[in-house]
Amino acid sequence: MPNSLVIEKGDEKDILITGSNASGKSTFLKSVALNAILSQCLATSLSESYRAPVYRVYSSMSLRDDLAAGGSYYMVEIKSLKRIIDAAAKEDGAPVICFVDEVLRGTNTVERIAASSAILENLSRMNALTFAATHDIELTKLLESDYTNYHFREEMTDSGVEFSYKILEGPATTRNAIALLDNLGYDSEIIQKARKRAEEFTQTGVWR
Protein backbone atom coordinates (compact mmCIF):
# COMPACT_ATOMS: atom_id res chain seq x y z
CA MET A 1 0.00 0.00 0.00
CA PRO A 2 1.35 3.44 -0.91
CA ASN A 3 1.60 6.30 1.57
CA SER A 4 -1.06 8.93 0.95
CA LEU A 5 -1.39 12.45 2.30
CA VAL A 6 -4.24 14.86 1.63
CA ILE A 7 -4.14 18.53 2.61
CA GLU A 8 -7.61 19.96 2.13
CA LYS A 9 -8.11 23.37 0.55
CA GLY A 10 -8.37 25.92 3.32
CA ASP A 11 -6.42 23.80 5.78
CA GLU A 12 -3.90 26.25 7.20
CA LYS A 13 -1.76 23.65 8.96
CA ASP A 14 1.59 22.49 7.66
CA ILE A 15 3.07 18.99 8.10
CA LEU A 16 5.44 17.84 10.86
CA ILE A 17 6.76 14.27 10.70
CA THR A 18 8.44 12.51 13.62
CA GLY A 19 9.76 8.98 13.96
CA SER A 20 12.66 6.75 14.80
CA ASN A 21 15.95 6.43 12.95
CA ALA A 22 15.62 4.81 9.50
CA SER A 23 11.83 4.65 9.80
CA GLY A 24 11.10 6.53 6.56
CA LYS A 25 10.83 10.25 7.37
CA SER A 26 13.50 11.51 4.96
CA THR A 27 12.45 9.14 2.18
CA PHE A 28 8.86 10.35 2.42
CA LEU A 29 9.91 14.01 2.22
CA LYS A 30 12.10 13.30 -0.80
CA SER A 31 9.28 11.37 -2.49
CA VAL A 32 6.81 14.24 -2.11
CA ALA A 33 9.40 16.78 -3.28
CA LEU A 34 10.35 14.68 -6.32
CA ASN A 35 6.74 14.20 -7.34
CA ALA A 36 6.03 17.90 -6.97
CA ILE A 37 8.95 18.74 -9.27
CA LEU A 38 8.13 16.07 -11.87
CA SER A 39 4.44 16.93 -11.91
CA GLN A 40 5.06 20.62 -12.40
CA CYS A 41 7.88 20.26 -14.93
CA LEU A 42 6.89 17.18 -16.94
CA ALA A 43 3.24 16.53 -15.99
CA THR A 44 4.47 13.14 -14.78
CA SER A 45 4.21 11.60 -11.32
CA LEU A 46 5.76 8.50 -9.81
CA SER A 47 2.86 8.36 -7.37
CA GLU A 48 -0.58 6.91 -8.08
CA SER A 49 -1.84 10.49 -8.32
CA TYR A 50 -0.67 14.02 -7.59
CA ARG A 51 -2.88 17.09 -7.49
CA ALA A 52 -1.69 20.48 -6.29
CA PRO A 53 -1.35 24.10 -7.38
CA VAL A 54 1.90 25.35 -8.87
CA TYR A 55 4.56 25.87 -6.19
CA ARG A 56 8.07 27.22 -6.00
CA VAL A 57 9.95 24.18 -4.63
CA TYR A 58 12.64 24.67 -1.97
CA SER A 59 14.42 22.23 0.31
CA SER A 60 16.86 22.00 3.19
CA MET A 61 17.94 18.37 3.05
CA SER A 62 21.10 16.23 2.80
CA LEU A 63 23.30 19.15 3.82
CA ARG A 64 27.07 18.94 4.35
CA ASP A 65 29.84 21.02 5.89
CA ASP A 66 31.23 23.56 3.41
CA LEU A 67 34.92 23.39 4.29
CA ALA A 68 36.00 25.33 1.22
CA ALA A 69 33.92 28.32 2.33
CA GLY A 70 34.77 27.80 5.99
CA GLY A 71 31.18 26.96 6.84
CA SER A 72 30.26 24.56 9.65
CA TYR A 73 27.28 22.24 9.28
CA TYR A 74 25.18 24.61 11.38
CA MET A 75 26.12 27.60 9.20
CA VAL A 76 25.16 25.66 6.09
CA GLU A 77 21.84 24.79 7.72
CA ILE A 78 20.85 28.29 8.75
CA LYS A 79 21.81 29.72 5.35
CA SER A 80 19.67 27.07 3.66
CA LEU A 81 16.71 27.86 5.90
CA LYS A 82 17.17 31.63 5.42
CA ARG A 83 16.92 31.13 1.66
CA ILE A 84 13.54 29.42 2.15
CA ILE A 85 12.28 32.13 4.53
CA ASP A 86 13.29 34.89 2.10
CA ALA A 87 11.46 33.14 -0.74
CA ALA A 88 8.32 32.57 1.35
CA ALA A 89 8.31 36.24 2.40
CA LYS A 90 7.45 37.23 -1.17
CA GLU A 91 3.66 37.54 -1.36
CA ASP A 92 3.60 37.91 -5.14
CA GLY A 93 3.81 34.88 -7.40
CA ALA A 94 3.33 31.21 -6.65
CA PRO A 95 3.49 30.00 -3.04
CA VAL A 96 6.50 28.05 -1.77
CA ILE A 97 6.42 24.36 -0.95
CA CYS A 98 9.43 23.53 1.22
CA PHE A 99 10.93 20.37 2.64
CA VAL A 100 13.07 20.61 5.78
CA ASP A 101 14.77 17.47 7.10
CA GLU A 102 16.13 17.22 10.68
CA VAL A 103 15.68 20.87 11.58
CA LEU A 104 18.89 22.46 12.96
CA ARG A 105 20.49 19.19 14.00
CA GLY A 106 23.90 20.88 13.87
CA THR A 107 23.53 22.62 17.24
CA ASN A 108 22.81 21.88 20.90
CA THR A 109 19.45 20.50 22.04
CA VAL A 110 18.08 23.55 23.89
CA GLU A 111 18.84 26.10 21.18
CA ARG A 112 17.86 23.65 18.42
CA ILE A 113 14.35 23.18 19.81
CA ALA A 114 13.93 26.90 20.59
CA ALA A 115 15.19 28.10 17.20
CA SER A 116 13.63 25.39 15.04
CA SER A 117 10.20 25.87 16.64
CA ALA A 118 10.41 29.62 16.01
CA ILE A 119 11.52 29.14 12.39
CA LEU A 120 8.82 26.58 11.58
CA GLU A 121 6.17 28.66 13.33
CA ASN A 122 7.22 31.66 11.25
CA LEU A 123 7.10 29.65 8.01
CA SER A 124 3.55 28.51 8.83
CA ARG A 125 2.42 32.14 8.71
CA MET A 126 4.07 32.87 5.38
CA ASN A 127 3.27 32.18 1.73
CA ALA A 128 4.43 28.57 2.04
CA LEU A 129 3.40 24.98 2.62
CA THR A 130 6.01 23.32 4.85
CA PHE A 131 6.90 19.66 5.24
CA ALA A 132 9.35 19.17 8.13
CA ALA A 133 10.87 16.08 9.74
CA THR A 134 12.48 15.94 13.17
CA HIS A 135 13.61 13.67 15.99
CA ASP A 136 12.65 16.33 18.53
CA ILE A 137 9.29 15.17 19.86
CA GLU A 138 9.06 18.44 21.82
CA LEU A 139 8.22 20.21 18.55
CA THR A 140 4.97 18.28 18.21
CA LYS A 141 3.62 20.12 21.27
CA LEU A 142 5.20 23.49 20.59
CA LEU A 143 3.84 23.55 17.02
CA GLU A 144 0.54 21.68 17.40
CA SER A 145 -1.54 24.78 16.60
CA ASP A 146 0.28 25.30 13.28
CA TYR A 147 1.31 21.80 12.15
CA THR A 148 -0.51 18.51 11.67
CA ASN A 149 1.50 15.68 13.21
CA TYR A 150 2.34 12.46 11.37
CA HIS A 151 4.89 9.79 12.22
CA PHE A 152 6.66 6.63 11.15
CA ARG A 153 7.37 3.86 13.65
CA GLU A 154 9.19 0.57 14.13
CA GLU A 155 8.46 -2.77 15.79
CA MET A 156 10.93 -4.61 17.97
CA THR A 157 11.00 -8.34 17.16
CA ASP A 158 13.18 -11.28 18.19
CA SER A 159 15.21 -10.77 15.02
CA GLY A 160 15.75 -7.04 15.60
CA VAL A 161 14.08 -3.84 14.47
CA GLU A 162 11.47 -3.96 11.69
CA PHE A 163 9.89 -1.01 9.90
CA SER A 164 6.50 -0.81 8.19
CA TYR A 165 7.40 2.46 6.38
CA LYS A 166 3.76 3.51 6.69
CA ILE A 167 2.92 7.07 7.60
CA LEU A 168 0.57 7.32 10.58
CA GLU A 169 -1.37 10.17 12.14
CA GLY A 170 -0.17 11.81 15.33
CA PRO A 171 3.29 12.28 16.88
CA ALA A 172 5.80 9.46 17.31
CA THR A 173 5.58 7.52 20.57
CA THR A 174 8.58 5.19 20.17
CA ARG A 175 12.37 5.54 19.98
CA ASN A 176 14.98 3.12 18.65
CA ALA A 177 18.43 4.72 18.86
CA ILE A 178 19.59 2.62 21.82
CA ALA A 179 17.88 -0.49 20.44
CA LEU A 180 19.87 -0.12 17.22
CA LEU A 181 23.10 0.00 19.23
CA ASP A 182 22.06 -3.23 20.92
CA ASN A 183 21.11 -4.78 17.59
CA LEU A 184 24.58 -4.02 16.20
CA GLY A 185 26.28 -5.77 19.10
CA TYR A 186 27.43 -2.90 21.30
CA ASP A 187 28.70 -3.92 24.74
CA SER A 188 25.86 -4.62 27.19
CA GLU A 189 27.31 -2.16 29.72
CA ILE A 190 26.93 0.67 27.20
CA ILE A 191 23.34 -0.36 26.44
CA GLN A 192 22.37 -0.61 30.11
CA LYS A 193 23.88 2.77 30.99
CA ALA A 194 22.22 4.44 28.01
CA ARG A 195 18.80 2.99 28.79
CA LYS A 196 19.06 3.91 32.47
CA ARG A 197 20.03 7.50 31.70
CA ALA A 198 17.28 7.85 29.11
CA GLU A 199 14.67 6.51 31.54
CA GLU A 200 15.86 8.79 34.35
CA PHE A 201 15.80 11.84 32.10
CA THR A 202 12.30 10.98 30.87
CA GLN A 203 11.09 10.76 34.47
CA THR A 204 12.96 13.70 36.01
CA GLY A 205 14.01 16.00 33.17
CA VAL A 206 17.57 15.95 34.55
CA TRP A 207 20.63 14.19 33.12
CA ARG A 208 22.60 12.14 35.63
Name beta bridge partners: 57: 97
Q: What is the mean pLDDT of the chain?
A: 90
Strand order in the sheet with 147-152: 56-60, 96-101, 128-134, 14-19, 147-152, 168-169
Distance, in Å, from the CA atom of 42 to the CA atom of 7, rounded to the nearest integer, reads: 22
Radius of gyration of the chain (CA): 18
Q: How confident is the model at residue 9 (pLDDT cuts 50, 70, 90)?
A: low
Highest average pLDDT, of 78-87, 106-115, 197-206, comes from 78-87
The residue-averaged pLDDT of 39-57 equals: 93
Does residue 179 register a pLDDT over 90?
Answer: no
20 conformational bin, left if phi > 0, alpha if psi -120 to 50, beta if neither:
beta
> Domain boundaries in the chain?
14-175, 176-208
Q: What's the confidence (pLDDT) of residue 155? A: 78
The residue-averaged pLDDT of 13-33 equals: 92
* Bridge-based pairing state of the strands 147-152 and 56-60: unpaired
DSSP state of 141: H
Does residue 139 register a pLDDT over 90?
Answer: yes
Q: What's the confidence (pLDDT) of residue 70? A: 67
Q: 14-175 has which fold? A: Rossmann fold (3.40.50)
